Structure 1
Amino acid sequence: MAGGWIEQLTGSLEQKKQYRQYKTRVERLPADYRAAATALERYLMYFGAITKGDVLVSMLGDLADLFEQSSADETPIREIVGNDPVEFAETFMRNYTGGQWINKERERLIKAIDAAAGDVAKEKDS
């Protein structure tokens, strides 16, 4: 019972464990792959604005998988991210939009405009 309350305040202990595992996995990568993965992580954390821990650890786990496999296959970093790393990162991020805070704001905006335009009343009458 107390554990659930603590997790409400601090977040999921399992997700924290998964995040630490991700960091360990990235730390084990060869230097160039580690640098690329770390740079992508930083950008994704800023750009993605993910608020759901499960989505975040899933995304980071997939990023680690990608770089571990690429390292094992000796795939050049440019073959992974292409010539535009920003485009790569943003395309990668689109797979995890369910956890972004902006989704809640988009819904809030739509509801506010619907209410202001009178669309809410029309839906109830239908």
Structure 2
Amino acid sequence: MHDVHMRWSDMDAYRHVNNTAYLTYLEQARVAMFFDRFVSFADGTVIAKHEITYLRPVIYHPEPLRIEAWVDTIRGASFVVHYEVLDEGVVAARASTQCVTVDFAHDRPRRLTDEEREVLRGFADEPASAR
């Protein structure tokens, strides 16, 4: 779980949080989840794909949004992070991000290490709304 604060500038002309702001919210949750805590992910992970399903509009308010995040589909050089964006306890969006580990020195994907796999398995879970 991670809380993210909306910015007034995240709203668009329709007076709700713009769809592009969600990518920033997801990034904040993902970085807090493991990139801030496990240097190997921060030193060599890129984003291959995002998918977001918007379920209801979010109107700016000072309370943070809650991001529930979990990992699955751990493969040789990639994994998927899933999210639920909760606005005052109600799911406003569901999303996923495919992350690929990369060897930047050789500019190609690299296999996940055993340690990285163990870290990712620690985040294998399901959303709170499914429990």
TM-score by length of 1: 0.29
Larger Rg: 1
The structure that is helix-richer by fraction is 1
TM-score by length of 2: 0.29
The structure that is strand-richer by fraction is 2
